[in-house]
Structure 1
Amino acid sequence: MESAPQTELDWHSAKALLDWYVELGAVDAVGDTPVDRYALAPPTPKQAPAPKAAAQDLPKRATPKAPPAAPSIDYVALAKQAAAGAQDMDGLKAAIKAFDGCELKKGARNTVISDGNPAARVMIIGEAPGRDEDREGKPFVGRAGQLLDKMFGAIGMGRDVPLSKDAVYITNVMPWRPPQNRDPSPEEMAMMVPFLERHVQLVAPDLIVLMGNTPCQAVLGKRGITRLRGGWHEVWGKPILPMFHPAYLLRNPAAKREAWADLLNLQAKLKERE
């Protein structure tokens, strides 16, 4: 017996047939070919790894360039230029206060430049301001400064005497206080020596006294005050006498005998140059 020929259902007929199957309780569609759901899935074929590019074929990475180094500043040269431009003491004081090359300036309260009579015959150069000097803005005002006044008062001289021939003028190598009163570094002193030299030129004293090791190193290029004290030197066209710093004398009272001999030596030199 021949089967009836299959005809293609239209959409409405297919939908009606599907609804009839659902009413009969059919929930799964069955294909023509049986499915073994316990069989393992066939392995997925692995792709062959791509061949590695030869080293010469790889793109070269650009080597990052280091940032250019900041140009170094020659603060000694700047100090020389600023000092040379000072035509008088007011100009020199302004140049020192405007100089930003020395880090000590940032931690100081005041710029300590000088005290006494600028017309004095004797110029005293100390080391650097201490706590009292930094607070008051004048050199040698603490205990060491009080002893300094007594020392020169013993030979009839001082920063406040009325006559310039008996007056003294006082300054320091460094106008700013170093932290914890440490010694200034050679680099710090080198920046301030041009201002100190110009200071001497403007004041034009007859004699210079160097109080302690720091001014000896800055002006003479030497240290060893126990060996240098009492001997005359010449720098910047001026006779120079190294002496013990008053702070040293406060710690070593026995050295006051040598300090008295140096004061008499200074007094005799002044008389020679009258």
Structure 2
Amino acid sequence: PDIDKIQAQAKAATTLEALKAVIAGVDAGALSDHARNMVFARGNPDAKIMFIGEAPGREEDIKALPFVGQAGQLLDKMLHAIGLDETNTYITNVCNWRPPGNRNPSPEEIAICRPLIHRHVELVAPDLIVIVGGVALEALTGRTGIMKTRGQWLSMEIAGHDIPALPIYHPAFLLRRPELKKQAWLDLLTIQERWAQF
């Protein structure tokens, strides 16, 4: 895949519909070859808060929507607990295709997807970003270590603007490590407090 060409096509997209069409036409190698569907986003594109996860899983690939499987149901419950839902949030992933075998996307695959997610953020222009999981954290900020970074506000520079971004645990990780739900709740309260300022 030609990353410079993908970047140019993404930059040329001036609406979310145009970006969706660009992504649908991207050759992302094994990513797009093995996926059943391209998974774009769900929620309200005018929302002030944007959640960015890692990549679609099996359910997401079938339904062509992000966070609709077991982990997505947990994310929805978490959001409802602080007064958020599809009307006031916008949810997407760094990668728009399910990686083969449900593995994490490779660094090469993330490099293909990075210009697409950056343009996606530019077009949505949220006031806050919530980075969901360690893969998304590294893809979006270059930082590693979700255990150390979660719950701390970072600054993401997108199109010359600094956007506050909060990394949180991925709900799939919380399903495997329920003892971390207390920390996850504190992170949700951090989101709620910041969101209330808008």
Task: Give, in whole Å, the separation in 2 of the partners of 1:195 and 1:187.
Answer: 14
Q: Does 1:251 align with 2:176?
A: yes
Task: From 88, 93, 107, give the equivalent of 1:172.
Answer: 93
Deviation at 1:101, TM superposition (A): 3.6
Deviation at 1:121, TM superposition (A): 1.2
Task: From 103, 106, 127, give the equivalent of 2:54.
Answer: 127
Residues 221-268 of structure 1: per-residue CA shift (max 9 Å, x gap): 012110010011111221000000000111111111111100110111
Task: From 162, 187, 200, give the equivalent of 2:108.
Answer: 187
Bigger share in strand: 2
Contact 2:30 2:100 in 1 (8 A): no
Contact 1:102 1:191 in 2 (8 A): no
Contact 1:132 1:142 in 2 (8 A): yes
Structural RMSD (CA): 1.0
SS at match of 1:128: coil
Closer/same/farther in 2, CA of residues 258 and 189 from structure 1, 3 Å limit: same
1:221 matched residue in structure 2: 142
Q: How does 1:47-66 map to 2 (within 5 A)?
A: none
Residue identity matched to 1:151: M
Task: Give, in whole Å, the separation in 1 of the partners of 2:130 and 2:98.
Answer: 21
Task: Give, in whole Å, the separation in 1 of the partners of 2:124 and 2:37.
Answer: 22
Q: Does 1:118 align with 2:39?
A: no
Deviation at 1:271, TM superposition (A): 2.3
1:146 matched residue in structure 2: 73
SS at match of 1:218: helix
Query: How many residues are matched?
Result: 194
- Percent sequence identity over aligned pairs: 49
Q: Which runs of 5+ in 2 are unaligned?
A: none
TM-score w.r.t. the length of structure 1 is: 0.69
TM-score w.r.t. the length of structure 2 is: 0.95
Task: Give, in whole Å, the separation in 2 of the partners of 1:179 and 1:195.
Answer: 20
Moved over 4 A (4+): none
Bigger share in helix: 2
Q: Which runs of 5+ in 1 are unaligned?
A: 1-72, 162-166
1:31 matched residue in structure 2: none
